[in-house]
Each structure stands twice: as structure tokens, then as C-alpha cells.
Amino acid sequence: MDRTAGSESTQAVHDVATGVGVTSDHAGEQIDGFHLVIDALKLNGIDNIYGVPGIPITDLGRLAQAAGMRVISFRHEQHAGNAAAIAGFLTKKPGICLTVSAPGFLNGLTALANATTNCFPMILISGSSEREIVDLQQGDYEEMDQLAIAKPLCKAAFRVLHAADIGIAVARAIRAAVSGRPGGVYLDLPAKLFSQVMDAEAGAKSLVKVIDAAPAQLPAPSAITRALDVLKGAKRPLIVLGKGAAYAQADEEVRNLVERSGIPYVPMSMAKGLLPDTHPQSAGAARSLVLKEADVVLLVGARLNWLLSHGKGKTWGAPGSKKFIQIDIEPKEMDSNVEIVAPVVGDIGSCVTALLDGMGQNWQAPPTAWTDAIRTKKEENLAKMASKLKKNSAPMDFHGALGALRTIIKERPDAILVNEGANTLDLARGIIDMYQPRKRLDVGTWGIMGIGMGFAVAAAVETGKPVLAVEGDSAFGFSGMEVETICRYDLPVCIVVFNNNGIYRGTDTDPTGRDPGTTVFVKDSRYDKMMEAFGGVGVHVTTPDELSQAVNAAMDSGKPTLINAVIDPAAGTESGNIGSLNPTSTVVRKKIA
Ligand code: ADP
Ligand code: TZD
Ligand code: MG
């Protein structure tokens, strides 16, 4: 293991840094905790930090910037955390979120938990207060036992007490985040650690460059044979691609599997674009039909959670009508909801390659009765949608507005689409075709609001590509203050706020007549003015044509832009597409006098 690589650049870093920790009254050079953390991250190819400064990590951010890292300071830790999480998804390297103690840590924790839930690799690094005082509960500045609180919400949690352990701790954190099923890791760095000094040479030697952080996990040959036997017997086979397949970056292999097998596929939302949504084998526009009718379903990096109706119930047709094959790196995922007749445990690249090898030259494409039925249904559904998308009315409905954005992504397939909201999310997912892998970033497994601006910032920083964030007005509000961050770093982000005056609809009223209804906002708000406040471009639009024009201008200029798109407040439905999960009261009570 090369434990000294990078020590030359380490030296240079110390020379340009502010001098903290480099004490001249010692014969040998010294290094402190601040610099060891930075060197450990850099040694492992981590270039970006997303965070909010303050005690005790202010200097860490400063020194990291001086050392050439990109340090993106946010207005709230949750958004920095979301940025780190999606950086992890996009790059397969753990995204780093840096926060202060207790409240900053807690603000970042939602993002850490969300990253773990979504299998995105990230490391939340939080400063913490004095252990001696915290453990005796004597009321230190921002006192909290952060390690204990983080533990149940992430894959692994570590605390470092000695500067000499920083290297090994960072290595463990990286490995824990990206190996096996990826997820969130917490690294607790008490304030005292940062100013601890040690001999610089010993410090450099204590750093660990992680070798093969996410080792390939090969499937057992018998698992491949079993899976292929089940697949060969299928009359109505289906492939479901999940965001694990997008994360795996085995794009060629996945495409080959789909095309060589001839099996129709449906992408989960963040797997859209792994193959272009316009691909002839895409059954996305006939999703209900294929889930119900398929007899064998091959899951590739997709869990049978609520998003797939747990693999049972009326979505999936008659009980017992399905056989599931599942490719996943996490063995415990198998049989989580229904029986998996052919579990294939391993990394997607290795598993798909093994399946392709096993398929041989004489693979039979699925029966045409199946593929024809799907094509017919697709054409029918797409034709129904096409007419709705052309509506050029004011105020716009969702379809009219999304029709315009659909064309924009078609013409600019390398743009990254960030999407959150209810109607704004569900309809955009169905309407906007994606053409390239990892270009659609959304609310994921939890359906969480608030990922918007954090994801947009990281998408721009990590890829340098233009970002189009399509946001419900409620969804946008969760992270809206980060428009300042977007302006400050001058990022090529175009935000479109679908402004329907509220959550789902803008038409609710308070039955007592006292207050606004619980789901509505200030009518006719001008979110575009928020962007102008920070020097960005704000545009107010009421028709799909105006919307197209404004988005194209934003994308051409690369300037931070917010477009306030007026949507008919009555156009949406409660909870978007998942109204069935929303309990509503049927009990009528007497009015309070
Ligand atoms: P979706 O929401 O798109 O259906 P999920 O988040 O439910 O996707 O599922 C993603 C799955 O992918 C997880 O079960 C995770 O363990 C798995 N996964 C992530 N990375 C890999 C990989 N490199 N190889 C195999 N499986 C992976
Ligand atoms: N809080 C968090 C963190 N996540 C959530 N998902 C919710 C609350 C509940 N919620 C939804 O599930 S969607 C949504 C909320 C508040 C906002 C929907 O309104 P919108 O979208 O304006 O973003 P549409 O287009 O008006 O439906
Ligand atoms: Mg709304």
C-alpha cells in the first residue's frame, strides 16, 4: 500500500496555508489535524466539499480551499448534505458534507439518512464539542452526543480522537460509503482534534490511500445459470432498471443485456436515460400493462419497495403469476417483499456481464405476441399524451408546460434534470424523455421534498453540465434560499418553478374563513424576484412558448436563472400520482361553535 503518495503536494499545501499547525519552534516540521483531514481526502481523490462553516470547522473549509479543493458553502446544511449525496451518486466517490456541531450536524443528518435510504455514498463530517464535557452532560457549546445519534441513520459512524488516526478513519469512512451497498457514513471530529499536532513525516505516513474502495463482487456461476434458466422459460419477460443500475456505471453492459435479450424494460425514475426513453424496447409508456402481465421480471438495481408496490397486489396481476429474478449487491435485499426465485448477488457490471456470457449466441427473443401487445399499448398511450402536450394556454396546465420542457431536454440531452414536487414530479417523470444515463435526479426512495437546490448545485459542480431544475412551488420553498449559493458560484442552473399557488393545488380554503387553507401559498407570488435579489436572471412566464424561450435563453447563457411559470391552480390532483397512499377522513364532525 502506498502510504506516502501525495506527500510532495502535502508539503506545498502547508506552505501556502495560513500556517496553523506548522510550528517553527520544533526541529522537525509538524502537521495538525486540519491539514491531516485535508490531505487524507485529497490523497483519496476527493476534490469537493459541500458545507456550512462555523465553530469548529471554519478553518478546515478555508484551508481546504487554500489547498485547491473546491469548497461550496451553502446557506443550510441540509442542502449541502443533499449536494454531497448526489455528488456520490453521480461520481461513485463519496460526497463530502461538512458541518458544525449539534444544530449544523442535525441539519445535515436528514441528508445523511436520505443518502443511506437511497444507497448514495456520502460522508457527513461534523465538528463536535469537547468529549469530556459532552459525556458528563455539563452543557458545552453546542453539546450533543452526535455519534450516538448518527449511528442508526447511516451505514457506519466513526469518531477520531487522535490526529494520528485521521488517515485510517478517512479510509474506513470512504470504504464504508462506497463498498457493497453504498450509503451514508458519519465522521465525528471533536474540536480538539483539529489543533492537535504531530510530526509531519509521521503524519504523512499515517494517511491511507484506499486501494479498490468498492471491490467487484462476482456472482456465483450457479446463480447465473439459475437466472438464465428462469429467463429462458419466460413467455412475457420484463426487465426493471433501477437507480442502482444507473449508479453502477455499467451503461454498456446494461444496454447490451437489454438489446441482446430483446426483453422489454421499464426504467425507475432515476434509471431513465440509461437507455434513451425513446428506445423501441422501452415499455415505460405501457408500465401498468407490463407490470401486470409479465411472467418473469428481472430486477436490476431496483428494490421491490413501495415504488414497485412491494412486488404484489393488483399492480402485479394475479397472485403467483410472477417469477422474480433480482440482481443486487446486497444479499439481504433478496426475498424482502416476495420470493426471489433467482437471486443474483454481486455488482451490476459483473452480474450483467456474466448473464451476457451465459446467454450465448442462440438466445431466443421474447414471443412477438408479448412485444406486439406492448407496442400497441405504448402507441395508444403516447398518442393520448401527445395532444395534451401541445396545449398553449394561459395559465398553463402541467401538460402544456411540460410539453415545452420535454422538447428542451430532447434538444439538450446532456443537460441534467432535477425534479421535485407532487404533480410537478409525477407528470414530469412521465412526460420528459431522458436520453443519457444519470441525467435525471429526483426525490428518490423517500419522495422527499427539499433536494432541489442541493442536487442542482452538485450536478453543476460535479459535471459542469447545464442543470434544469423543475420544481413545484412548495418543493422549491424547502431549499429556495440556495438560489444565493447558485448565484454566488455563478452556476449554470436554470430553475423553473411550477407556480400553482400551493401544494398539489392552490384552491384550498379554511372552512372557518379565518386563515388561508393549509395547502395554499400567497397567490401569484413572484419567485423570479428571489433570483434577481442576488444578481441572477428572473423571468415570469404564462405560456409554454414563453417558457421555452426563457429556458433556452438561460441554457444558452449559462447564467443562474429562475423562471416563475404560472400554472392553473386547479390543474393538479391531491398527492399527484400517489393519492392512493393519502388517507382522507370520512367522518363528519359537528362544527366547533
Ligand atoms: P429504484 O428506486 O430506482 O427502484 P432502489 O434505490 O430501490 O432503486 O434500488 C437500488 C438498488 O441497487 C439497491 O438495492 C442497491 O443495493 C443496489 N445497488 C446499488 N449499487 C449497486 C451495484 N453497483 N451493483 C449492484 N447493486 C447495486
Ligand atoms: N416534507 C418533506 C420533507 N417531504 C415531503 N414529501 C412532504 C413534506 C410532503 N409533500 C409531498 O409529498 S409533495 C409536497 C409535499 C409538501 C409538495 C407538493 O407541492 P408542489 O407540487 O407545489 O411542490 P405540485 O406541483 O403543486 O403538486
Ligand atoms: Mg405547487
pLDDT in tens, 196-233: 999 999 999 999 999 999 999 999 999 999 999 999 99
Cα of 504 to ligand 3 centre, how many Å? 5
Nearest ligand to residue 499 Cα: 3
Q: What is the mean pLDDT of residues 184-189?
A: 98
13 pLDDT higher than 50: no
Residue bearing the CA closest to ligand 1, atom 23: 248
Q: What is the mean pLDDT of residues 485-509?
A: 98
pLDDT digits (tens, 9 = 90+) for 241-275: 999 999 999 999 999 999 999 999 999 999 999 99
Q: Which three cell numbers stand for residue 324?
A: 422474480
Residues with CB under 6 Å of ligand 1 are 118-119, 181-182, 242-244, 247-248, 268, 270-271, 301-303, 305, 307, 328-330, 333, 347-348, 445
pLDDT of residue 423: 98
Q: How many helices (H) and strands (E) does the chain have?
A: 23, 19
Q: How far is CA 119 from the centre of its chain?
A: 9
pLDDT of residue 27: 54
Mention every residue, 6+ apart, whose C-beta is less than 8 A from residue 383.
none
**Within 10 Å of residue 12's Cβ, how many Cβ atoms?**
11
Look up the CATH superfamily of 390-577: Thiamin diphosphate (ThDP)-binding fold, Pyr/PP domains (3.40.50.970)
Residue bearing the CA closest to ligand 2, atom 7: 449
Q: How far is CA 233 from the centre of its chain?
A: 36
Say what the pTM is: 0.95
67 pLDDT higher than 90: yes
How close are the terminal C-alpha atoms of the chain, in Å? 76
Cα of 421 to ligand 3 centre, how many Å? 7
Pairing of strands 156-159, 184-190: parallel
Q: Which of 65, 43, 44 is nearest to 53 (CA)?
A: 65
Pairing of strands 467-472, 493-499: parallel
Kindly tell me the burial class for residue 132, based on how many C-beta atoms sit within 10 Å of its own C-beta (0-12, 13-18, 19 or more).
exposed
Report the atom number in ligand 2 closest to the C-alpha of 576: 27
Taking ligand 3, which is a single-atom ion, which protein residues have CB atoms under 5 Å away?
472-473, 500
Helix, coil or strand: residue 381: helix
Pairing of strands 197-199, 30-32: antiparallel
Cα of 393 to ligand 3 centre, how many Å? 18
Do 564 and 483 form a contact (C-beta atoms < 8 A)? no
Q: Which three cell numbers stand for residue 78?
A: 441540509
> For residue 379, is it left (φ>0), alpha (ψ between -120 and 50) or beta?
alpha
Respond yes or no on whether the N-terminal peptide bond of residue 56 is cis (omega within 30° of 0).
Answer: yes
Alpha-carbon distance 590 to 522, whole Å? 30
Report domain extents, the chain: 5-206, 221-375, 390-577
Between 579 and 591, the higher pLDDT residue: 579
Q: Which helix (H) or strand (E) holds 551?
A: helix 544-557
Under the banding of pLDDT at 50, 70 and 90, the label for residue 28 is confident
**Among 498, 501, 504, which is best to mutate for testing ligand 2, by the most ligand atoms less than 8 A from CB?**
504
Q: Which of 315, 311, 294 is nearest to 303 (CA)?
A: 311
Residue 47 CB-half CA count within 13 A: 8
Mention every residue, 6+ apart, whose C-beta is less than 8 A from residue 227.
298, 325, 342, 344, 355
Q: Which CA distances in Å does 338 have to 79, 259, 392, 453?
A: 35, 28, 46, 36
Residues with CB under 6 Å of ligand 2 are 421-424, 447-450, 472-475, 498, 500, 503-504, 572, 576
pLDDT digits (tens, 9 = 90+) for 268-319: 999 999 999 999 999 999 999 999 999 999 999 999 999 999 999 999 999 9
Respond yes or no on whether the N-terminal peptide bond of residue 395 is cis (omega within 30° of 0).
Answer: yes
Residue 313, phi then psi, degrees to nearest 5:
85, -175
Do 45 and 87 form a contact (C-beta atoms < 8 A)? no
Q: Which one of 3.20.20.80, 3.40.50.410, 3.30.1370.60, 3.40.50.970 gives the CATH number of domain 5-206?
A: 3.40.50.970
pLDDT of residue 22: 44
Under the banding of pLDDT at 50, 70 and 90, the label for residue 408 is very high
Q: Which CATH architecture has domain 221-375?
A: 3-Layer(aba) Sandwich (3.40)
- At residue 250's C-alpha, the angle toward residues 246 and 254, to 5°, is 85
